[in-house]
Amino acid sequence: MKAIMGLEIHVHLLTDSKFFCRCPTDYENKEPNENTCPICCGFPGSKPKANKKVIDCTIMVAKALNCKINPQMFFSRKSYFYPDMPKNFQITQYEIPLATKGYLEITNKKIGITRVHMEEDPAKLFHIGGDILSAKYILADYNRAGIPLIEIVTDPDFRTTKEVREFLTKISSILEHLEVYDSSKEAALRVDANVSLEGGERVEIKNITGFKNVEKGLNYEMVRQESVRRMGMEVQRETRHFNAETRTTASLRKKEFEEDYGYIFEPDLTRIEISDKWLKEIDKKMPELPDQRIERLVKDYGVTRYQARVVVYTDKALADFFEECCKIYKKPVDIIKWIVTDLLKSLNWNKVTIRKSKVKPKTFIELLKLIDTGKITARLGKEVIKDYVVTGKSPKEIVEKKGLTLIDEDKLIKSVKEVIKKNSQAVEDYKKGKKKAMEYLIGQVLRKIKARADPNKIRRLIEKLV
């Protein structure tokens, strides 16, 4: 059965102060409710005033997503009865969002962007005595309330969760390149995902954190809807909650219709008029975007498109790292080869991002130079990189401490001779033209000398000595 999916993506914008007050946004490691004031706590008589940077950033995002930007707009109040907004309404945009009708290209497909708008984040709630459904009461921390969010709404253009993942990876990379978002922050990007099976009602899965969870939530929901239908029942239009631990969704509430939010114009904030002059200023500030960067890396450094995509989409910081390395060592093709294979493998194994790791261009290049100058073999380089990612120590030191430098010529010849003597059968096979026998002999030598010599050199020695 065909599935139809659409996304609502909420992104924390990287600002110092909240959207409508001067409270700080750095809520991590703060006391609960420390970053609050009468404005974000919704005290009667308090007056919000918009943070201009939020509007600037949102225009940049809208441009990157090929949207049409509305020249005039205003803010609206979305009324609802949750304790996560002390005012009982959220300041958002409804009738006229900042931007509409954009698109983002993924493989062989364009995903339509319905709208991009600005709003404030609600408080973080803790469910006490159970989960979201069984809690006895909630505790609210308003440090997060009022932090600026961009909401990106897509058209229902996704047919597979693979498309969803590609899209999210791309959006995240764009936001990173625009420097409006910090991917390492908890809850910096949250997704509401809509899914229906052809001809059926739409179900919304609320507030999923993490790309993998979006996929899991959607996959679970498709299977659930199929089985509802198979039992001869109708899928109900509702909002469901994704439980990351059980990887299942559970019903939160039957969908209230949109009008029930009682949107009204926000009279405490002024209209916004975006002039052509303002848009031109933003144009000047627009940085290079991921797709452009990939093309540039291919053109300027001679790396493959695949390699360029890996460094750019894994993490903007990884692409930055690559370019930093190229500045100090002019061997981009070798550098990227080591980054997309062994470095990335080690980082993933240690569950650390390049930014949070101890890997630095200077020391990383030191390692490559050890290999290039023949101080160690590439094979040993792969071992050294593992230690290096964990400790961040100078690769030279690691190599010296572990005694991994190449053994000297005399010792190597001696070892090769010993191996030849011991493996007369293999030597015979080699002489008869069996290529595998040579590989075997090289392997034996490498084992004997703990890989501290170049396999090609060993090959030449064997050829000479048999």
Binding stretches for another protein (CB under 8 A):
15-17, 21-24, 31-38, 41, 49-55, 74, 81-84, 125-127, 132-133, 135-142, 252-253, 256, 259-260, 262, 265, 267, 269-273
Q: How far is CA 28 from CA 34, 89, 352, in A?
A: 11, 24, 19
First to last CA, the chain: 66
- Cβ-based neighbour number of residue 337 at 10 Å: 16
Nearer Cβ to another protein (34/283) = 34
Alpha helical stretches, state H, 315-377 = 316-328, 332-338, 344-349, 361-372
- Cβ-based neighbour number of residue 273 at 10 Å: 10
* Tokens of residue 10, six digits: 């909420």
Nearer Cβ to another protein (118/419) = 118
Burial of 369 (0-12, 13-18, 19+ CB in 10 A): middle
Are the C-beta atoms of residues 151 and 175 closer than 8 Å to each other? no
Closest separation in Å from C-beta 19 to another protein: 10
Residue with tokens 């650390």: 352
Nearer Cβ to another protein (50/352) = 50
Closest separation in Å from C-beta 170 to another protein: 27
User: CA-CA distance, 55 to 148, in Å (whole number)?
Assistant: 10
Residue 228 backbone zone (phi > 0: left; psi -120 to 50: alpha; other: beta): alpha
Please state the separation of Cα 108 from the chain's center in Å: 21
Nearer Cβ to another protein (96/298) = 96
Residue with tokens 């996929």: 215
Residues in the chain: 466
Closest separation in Å from C-beta 144 to another protein: 12
* Tokens of residue 171, six digits: 């959006």
- Cβ-based neighbour number of residue 228 at 10 Å: 16
Nearer Cβ to another protein (21/164) = 21
Closest separation in Å from C-beta 263 to another protein: 12
* Tokens of residue 156, six digits: 């229902």
Nearer Cβ to another protein (39/297) = 39
User: CA-CA distance, 123 to 136, in Å (whole number)?
Assistant: 18
Nearer Cβ to another protein (81/432) = 81
Closest separation in Å from C-beta 273 to another protein: 5
Nearer Cβ to another protein (118/174) = 118
Closest separation in Å from C-beta 274 to another protein: 9
Nearer Cβ to another protein (4/37) = 37
DSSP state of 251: E
Are the C-beta atoms of residues 88 and 81 closer than 8 Å to each other? yes
User: CA-CA distance, 372 to 32, in Å (whole number)?
Assistant: 53
User: CA-CA distance, 101 to 117, in Å (whole number)?
Assistant: 12
Nearer Cβ to another protein (39/437) = 39
Closest separation in Å from C-beta 380 to another protein: 50
Closest separation in Å from C-beta 71 to another protein: 11
Closest separation in Å from C-beta 40 to another protein: 9
Closest separation in Å from C-beta 138 to another protein: 5
